[in-house]
A and B are shown apart, each in its own frame.
Chain A
Amino acid sequence: MSKHHVEMTINGRRHAGDVEARVSLSDFLRGDAGYTGVHVGCEHGVCGACTVIVEGKAVRSCLMLAVQADGAQVTTVEGLAAPDGTLHPVQQVLLDEHALQCGFCTPGVVMTLAALTNDAQKPSEAQLLAALSGHICRCTGYQGIRRAAKKLAGAARGKS
Chain B
Amino acid sequence: MKPAPFDYVAPATVDEACSVLAEAGGGATILAGGQTLLPLLNLRMSQPFIIVDINKIAELQGIARADSCTRIGPMTRQCEVIASEDLARDLPVLVQAVGHVGHHQTRNRGTIGGSIALGEPAAELPATAVALDAMIEVRSTRGTRQIPAGEFYLGPYMSALEADELVTGISFPDWPKGHIPLFREVAQRPGDFALLGMVGALSVEGGKIARAGLAWFGMGPTPIRAKAAEQMLLGRSLDGFDPQAVAERAIADTAPFDDHHASAEYRRTVGARIFVRTLREALELEELA
> Interface on A for B, CB 8 Å cutoff?
1-2, 4, 20-22, 24, 27, 43-45, 48, 51, 57-60, 62-65, 67-68, 112, 116, 130-131, 133-134
Contact = CB atoms under 8 A, between A and B. Distances in A.
Contact of B51 (A21, A45, A58, A64): A21
A21 B48 CA distance: 12
A58 B42 contact: no
15 contacts: A24-B38, A43-B1, A43-B2, A44-B42, A45-B35, A57-B79, A60-B109, A63-B35, A64-B109, A68-B34, A112-B105, A130-B104, A133-B103, A134-B102, A134-B106
A130 B6 CA distance: 36
B105 A2 contact: no
Interface residues of B, number: 32
Nearest to B38: A63
B106 A133 contact: no
A57 B43 contact: no
A27 B106 CA distance: 18
Nearest to A19: B8
Nearest to A116: B104
Given A62-B38, A133-B103, A133-B190, A57 B108 contact: yes
Name the residue among B35, B55, B189 with the largest chain A CB count within 10 angstroms. B35
Contacts of A1: 5-7
The 10 A-B pairs with the shortest beta carbon distances in the complex, nearest first, are A134-B103, A21-B8, A44-B39, A1-B5, A131-B104, A63-B38, A133-B190, A22-B3, A57-B108, A2-B7
Given A44-B42, A44-B43, A60 B105 contact: yes
A44 B4 CA distance: 15
Nearest to B106: A45
Nearest to A55: B108
A12 to B, nearest CB: 21
A22 B104 contact: no
Nearest to A4: B8
Nearest to A43: B42
Contacts of B105: 48, 51, 58-60, 112, 131, 134
A24 B72 CA distance: 28
B191 interface: yes
B53 interface: yes
B109 A134 contact: no
Interface of B: 1-10, 31, 34-35, 38-39, 41-43, 51, 53, 55, 79, 102-106, 108-109, 189-191
Nearest to B55: A68
A58 to B, nearest CB: 5
Nearest to A22: B3
A111 B238 CA distance: 48
A27 B39 contact: no
A63 B39 contact: yes
Name the residue among A4, A20, A133 with the largest chain B CB count within 10 angstroms. A133
Nearest to A134: B103
A131 B103 contact: yes
A62 B39 CA distance: 8
B8 A2 contact: yes
Contacts of A57: 79, 108
Contacts of B103: 48, 131, 133-134
Nearest to A25: B38
Contact of A22 (B2, B35, B43): B2
A36 to B, nearest CB: 17
Contacts of A20: 5
B38 A22 contact: no
A130 B42 contact: no
B76 to A, nearest CB: 14
A17 to B, nearest CB: 15
Contacts of B2: 22, 24, 27, 43
B38 A45 contact: yes
Nearest to A128: B104
Nearest to B56: A68
Name the residue among A24, A63, A112 with the largest chain B CB count within 10 angstroms. A63
A73 B195 CA distance: 37
